[in-house]
Chains A and B, each alone.
Chain A
Amino acid sequence: MIFSNKSLKLCLFALMFPIVFSCQSMKRATVTVGESLGSETLVKSAADLTPRQEYYLGRSIMARVMADRKPVKSENLQTYVNQLGQYLALHSTRTAVFKGYRFVVIDDPSPVAMSAPGGFVLLSSAMLRVAENEDELASILAHEIGHVALKHHEENIKAANQMAFAKSILAVAAQLSPNLNQVKTFSEAVASGVDIAFNKNQERDADEAALKILIRAGYAPNALQNVIQRIPNTATLLSKHPRNQSRIERLSKLTSNTKKSMGRTAAKRFMAILEAEDPSARSAKR
């Protein structure tokens, strides 16, 4: 027998009503999480890494890449790229990452852009020079933000076993020669590292995410296809082999109805920043 006293039973019975119904109503008030947060954010974290671990993995990847290639020593340039990148990230589907998005321009003569888990984005000085205006620079950064926002790193870490992924990236970076003459090796290495990370569908999705970011942030969406076209045909992140052309065609279709035009915005400050870094930039761009 559970209870012997009849009055005690009645009391318990009476108490259980409010307990159970308060659970019900609380549950309603809380809504189901999926409904209230939106499915796009609550895509379950694909990897077994927590957000904090993602962040520390990202730091290690960046630390490896920047062991051989130093950031450009210009407070103005790094400030500018971070302001632009962080402004763009506010218009992505993942506005918050563990400690915020961070951007860096490294000194390297091959056009490279890459991102790491945790919201770290790296751009080479050569890639900066490929961009002809702020819209194009924004499009490169928006593509990388797209990878972070869509959690592509995490997806692939899961797919390839997180440690194998980390090792492959770190190993690629470790193979980099400090010799500046072997820059091609560097770009290829980073590109192949990125290849490990991103498949064709992910690149396409990051392109689409970039277009949305550009439009919402107020930049010209056709900047991305224009900048991809201009990247030299060496193996770099944004100029990927034969699919490069298909990406451009796809982007052209997607942006055919947009009214915004290229290079109309922020031209002066973009040129000023570039000029400060490389006096030949102005003449080259004209």
Chain B
Amino acid sequence: MNGTMERGHLTPSKVRWNWICVFWLFTILWHQHGFAGQDKVVVSVSEAVMRSAPGFLSKAIAKVPYGTPVRILGRDSGWVNIVADKKTGWVQRSALQEAEYVLKDLGRGEKASVDTYKNDVVTAGKGFSPEFESMMKSNGENLNYAAVDEMERFGFKELALFKFARRGRIASDLLE
């Protein structure tokens, strides 16, 4: 009964306080929204190598997996100083992308990008993925994934690549 009475008798000061509270609430929500919408960046490669300093020959300190959210501290030409998985270091700029393009892959809001393929074979609806490849293989499609696997075997560390260049007396701008 008492409560009803109070709600029925709003004094000017109570109204003012309510408006102030509403204002702060909106301000907070607005800022939070800005955070989630515009500034969220994640790792966009299978595994980003985090280094102690910008540069391909700096010490590797961690590997940050696809989709990991990062906080950006600064940048230096092609490198970005980040905090990810509670570690601070530098990753290549192209190893990061806005979250909205990457997170689709990780469950939320996944679009069915491949509904049909050839003769309207319905795929898993998950787009191009390992499941898509398995389906193609089981359908007996003329696709040589083994050759692609073989091709992927030839991955070289950056140090080896710079050594390759030096053996050919090629001078990279990155080492100047």
Which one, A88-96, A186-194, A239-247, is touching chain B? A88-96
Among B50-95, those with CB < 8 Å from A are 56, 66, 71-75, 78, 80, 92-95
Closest to A65 in B: B144
A200 adjacent to chain B (CB < 8 Å) = no
Chain A residues within an 8 Å CB radius of B96: 37, 41
CB-based contact A41/B173 at 8 Å: no
Chain A residues within an 8 Å CB radius of B160: 83
B-contact 0/1 string along A39-53, CB 8 Å cutoff: 001101100111111
Closest to B99 in A: A33
CB-based contact A266/B97 at 8 Å: no
A159 adjacent to chain B (CB < 8 Å) = no
Complex alpha-carbon distance, A86 and B28, angstroms: 47
CB-based contact A53/B129 at 8 Å: yes
Among B10-41, those with CB < 8 Å from A are 10, 14, 17-18, 20-22, 24, 27-28, 31-32, 34-35, 38-39, 41
A sample of 20 inter-chain contacts (CB < 8 A) reads A1-B18, A2-B17, A30-B71, A33-B38, A36-B75, A36-B80, A49-B127, A51-B66, A52-B66, A60-B128, A60-B132, A87-B161, A87-B165, A90-B172, A91-B172, A95-B92, A96-B45, A163-B114, A217-B172, A218-B170
Shortest Cβ distance from B18 into chain A, in angstroms? Answer: 5
Shortest Cβ distance from B75 into chain A, in angstroms? Answer: 5
**Selected contact of B147 from candidates A12, A71, A94, CB within 8 Å:** A71
CB-based contact A100/B155 at 8 Å: yes
CB-based contact A71/B151 at 8 Å: yes
Q: Which B residues fall within an 8 A CB radius of A?
A: 6-7, 10, 14, 17-18, 20-22, 24, 27-28, 31-32, 34-35, 38-39, 41, 44-46, 48, 56, 66, 71-75, 78, 80, 92-98, 101-102, 104-105, 111, 113-118, 127-130, 132-133, 136, 142-145, 147-148, 150-152, 154-156, 158, 160-162, 164-165, 167-174
CB-based contact A83/B164 at 8 Å: yes
Complex alpha-carbon distance, A83 and B158, angstroms: 10
Q: A50-B105, A53-B105 are in contact. List 14 more A-B contacts (CB 8 A).
A: A4-B6, A33-B38, A37-B96, A48-B113, A51-B97, A51-B101, A52-B102, A60-B136, A63-B133, A78-B154, A83-B164, A95-B93, A104-B151, A265-B169
Q: Given contacts A1-B6, A79-B154, are A174 and B45 in contact (CB under 8 A)?
A: no
Closest to B158 in A: A90
Most buried by B among A52, A55, A91, A134: A52
Chain B residues within an 8 Å CB radius of A67: 142-144, 147
Chain B residues within an 8 Å CB radius of A9: 17, 21
Chain B residues within an 8 Å CB radius of A52: 46, 66, 102, 105, 129
Q: Given contacts A86-B161, A96-B92, are A51 and B102 in contact (CB under 8 A)?
A: yes
CB-based contact B98/A42 at 8 Å: yes
A29 adjacent to chain B (CB < 8 Å) = yes
Chain A residues within an 8 Å CB radius of B174: 90-91, 216
CB-based contact A20/B31 at 8 Å: yes
CB-based contact A32/B92 at 8 Å: no
Q: Given contacts A70-B147, A95-B78, A96-B94, are A20 and B101 in contact (CB under 8 A)?
A: no
Chain A residues within an 8 Å CB radius of B95: 96
Closest to A268 in B: B168
A64 adjacent to chain B (CB < 8 Å) = yes
Q: Given contacts A23-B28, A265-B168, are A33 and B72 in contact (CB under 8 A)?
A: yes
B-contact 0/1 string along A139-158, CB 8 Å cutoff: 00000000000000000000
Q: Given contacts A37-B93, A44-B101, are A53 and B168 in contact (CB under 8 A)?
A: no
